[in-house]
Chain A
Amino acid sequence: DTGVSQDPRHKITKRGQNVTFRCDPISEHNRLYWYRQTLGQGPEFLTYFQNEAQLEKSRLLSDRFSAERPKGSFSTLEIQRTEQGDSAMYLCASSPRDRGLSYEQYFGPGTRLTVT
């Protein structure tokens, strides 16, 4: 399967702990996105990478959140000092190199975070 993969698929943590999620995009996709989805809502944009550069961050991404894509391949999303409000599904998506301005995004299965 050459789709977007995410690890872990589920994470349960206690409030105040740090967590880190990993996303492996489709090979050769240079664009990578993180979204967060809570129950009953659609995904909300968090941040965007083009290669290793983080080009856009949502106001949803507080100082406790940090994302990296060190070599322009996989990406990590870290949440420090987790809070119960961080409980959500964290989705990663990737899209291919420029073909006009038609950015079609391919989503991974997500990491479900539960903060107790």
Chain B
Amino acid sequence: AQSVSQHNHHVILSEAASLELGCNYSYGGTVNLFWYVQYPGQHLQLLLKYFSGDPLVKGIKGFEAEFIKSKFSFNLRKPSVQWSDTAEYFCAVNPWFSGGYNKLIFGAGTRLAVHP
């Protein structure tokens, strides 16, 4: 079945540690890719997006993600996390086939806890 997979459901890190969250999708053809973040008590916010061009995209708050088409992956990275990065992170895909460009398909999310 076509889907979006996030490999880590829970991640615990200490401040200043590096972060990489995995995301793989199973849709062929052209896709738009997103990472959304949900801080405790807040709504979903866009962290970064990839539509075309440079496969390494930079987002807010020092986050970046790399699109590797051959691996159907869009992993999220941050070199040094802060306590304020504690949140839930969702990878989302916007597949273009059959007019599917209108909807986002989300992964199950990764809960990140950063300890001071």
Contacts and interface: CB of A to CB of B under 8 A. Distances in A.
Interface of A: 31, 33, 35, 40-45, 48, 50, 55-56, 91, 100-110
A104 B108 contact: no
A110 B43 contact: yes
Interface of B: 4, 9, 32, 34, 36, 42-46, 49, 51, 90, 92, 94, 96, 99, 101-109
Contacts, number: 61
26 contacts: A31-B102, A33-B102, A35-B104, A40-B9, A40-B108, A40-B109, A41-B108, A41-B109, A42-B92, A43-B44, A43-B90, A43-B104, A45-B103, A45-B104, A45-B105, A56-B99, A56-B102, A91-B44, A101-B32, A102-B32, A102-B49, A102-B51, A103-B32, A104-B46, A104-B49, A107-B36
Contacts of B45: 107
Nearest to A37: B106
